[in-house]
Amino acid sequence: MYNLARQLLFKLSPETSHDLSLDLIGAGGRLGLNGLLTKQPARLPVTVMGLSFDNPVGLAAGLDKNGAAIDGFAQLGFGFVEIGTVTPRPQPGNPKPRIFRLPEATAIINRMGFNNLGVDNLLDRVRASQYKGVLGINIGKNFDTPVERAVDDYLICLDKVYAHASYITVNVSSPNTPGLRSLQFGESLKQLLDALAQRREVLAVQHGKRVPVAIKIAPDMSDEETVQVAQALLASGMDAVIATNTTLSREGVEGLAHGDEAGGLSGAPVREKSTHIVKVLAGELAGRMPIIAAGGITEGKHAAQKIAAGASLVQIYSGFIYKGPALIREAVDAIAALPRT
């Protein structure tokens, strides 16, 4: 059925089709229809970050930036749903067009720029949802907050979402907010992590629960930089790392229509780069911190490859656009078929 829907949706501009799909998934969710219309994945329970997941295949951030369709996505069979990136204040994002399909490469280029309705609106949506599973809330900074004050924005969001999230993702890896990726390195990273860790201690006491914090990183890092990130995350007591966001590389899309659009490239062309980062992280972390892998899962077997590389959970964005909900089931089955370690 998704093939038919896709034929229709792909006739529309990517952003119109995105908005329409979100509306449909949201409406289906409110009516409780999505679960009836999709064959559900097998149950494959896992515990990661102290949280219980029905299966290890989640929705990656950015598809439901405002938490408008949480129930709808959950009913499609995702083992967890990550909403956002959300910023303290609403912002329009970059001018359109800002999302491009590259079907020959099963890829997407986007330069959305954190278009979102702000954290207060997102929390209204979370309160309205019926979903009881694992909900990640991904936080970022407003584009007009100077990068030297970025920590303030993350702390505002951390405070606000803390009571409502199963885990919180700190996004320092979008290529579409100038300066954001500089927070992944050196002193800037250390200062951010220390500030988050300190505030989390306070919030844990206030709320009587310790909400895990994950850091989402870019694929455009050397092995040495990746190792340094892993060490900094361990030192600050973070709970997980999400690898990865989109890439600035254009390897694999040279010469294709839209291949030279500015923004982050996702889907098949980022797969190997992301999996390499997972491997380097896994080598350094040696089981001390879980890895959530995202990047280029367009077939079930790619999800299994991420787990084999050392990830505990996976997330999907571009593959879902191209393959629809059947990919969730395929990914769960491929992971279930891995030999147990």
Ligand X SMILES: Cc1cc2nc3c(=O)[nH]c(=O)nc-3n(C[C@H](O)[C@H](O)[C@H](O)COP(=O)(O)O)c2cc1C
Would you tell me which residues interact with ligand X (CB under 6 A)? Answer: 60-62, 65, 85, 99, 108, 110, 112, 114, 138, 171, 174, 216, 245-246, 266-267, 270, 294-297, 316-319
Q: Of 99 and 158, which has the nearer Cβ to ligand X?
A: 99
Contacts 24+ apart (CB under 8 A), 176-182: 176/94, 176/110, 176/111, 176/112, 176/113, 176/114, 176/263, 176/264, 177/113, 177/114, 177/140, 177/141, 177/143, 178/143, 178/147, 179/147, 179/150, 180/140, 180/141, 180/147, 180/150, 181/218, 181/220, 182/147
CB of 247 to ligand X, least distance (A): 8
Q: Of 34 and 110, which has the nearer Cβ to ligand X?
A: 110
Q: Of 145 and 171, which has the nearer Cβ to ligand X?
A: 171
Q: Of 159 and 272, which has the nearer Cβ to ligand X?
A: 272
Residue 85: closest CA among 154, 21, 31:
154
CB of 236 to ligand X, least distance (A): 19
Separation CA 277–CA 268 (nearest Å): 15
CB of 132 to ligand X, least distance (A): 23
Which amino acid makes up residue 169? Answer: T
Crossing angle, helix 223-236 and helix 186-207, to 10 degrees? Answer: 30
In our burial notation (b when 16+ CB lie closer than 10 A, e otherwise), range 265-294 reads bbbbbbbebbbbbbbbbbebbeeebbbbbb
CB of 36 to ligand X, least distance (A): 26
222 noted as active-site residue: no
Residue 107: closest CA among 314, 277, 259, 308:
259
* Pairing of β 240-243 and β 213-217: parallel
Report which residue's Cβ sits closest to ligand X.
62
Q: Of 233 and 297, which has the nearer Cβ to ligand X?
A: 297
Partners of residue 139 on adjacent β-strands = 86, 170
CB of 208 to ligand X, least distance (A): 28
8 A C-beta contact, residue 184 and residue 173:
yes
Which amino acid makes up residue 103? Answer: P
State yes or no: cis peptide before 244, omega within 30 of 0.
Answer: yes
Q: Of 28 and 319, which has the nearer Cβ to ligand X?
A: 319
Q: Of 60 and 304, which has the nearer Cβ to ligand X?
A: 60
How distant is the alpha carbon of residue 93 from its chain centre? 18
8 A C-beta contact, residue 269 and residue 105:
yes
Instruction: Single out the catalytic residue among 129, 166, 173, 174.
Output: 174
CB of 191 to ligand X, least distance (A): 21
CB of 29 to ligand X, least distance (A): 20
Residue 208, judged by CB atoms within 10 A of its CB (0-12, 13-18, 19+), counts as exposed
Active site residues: 174
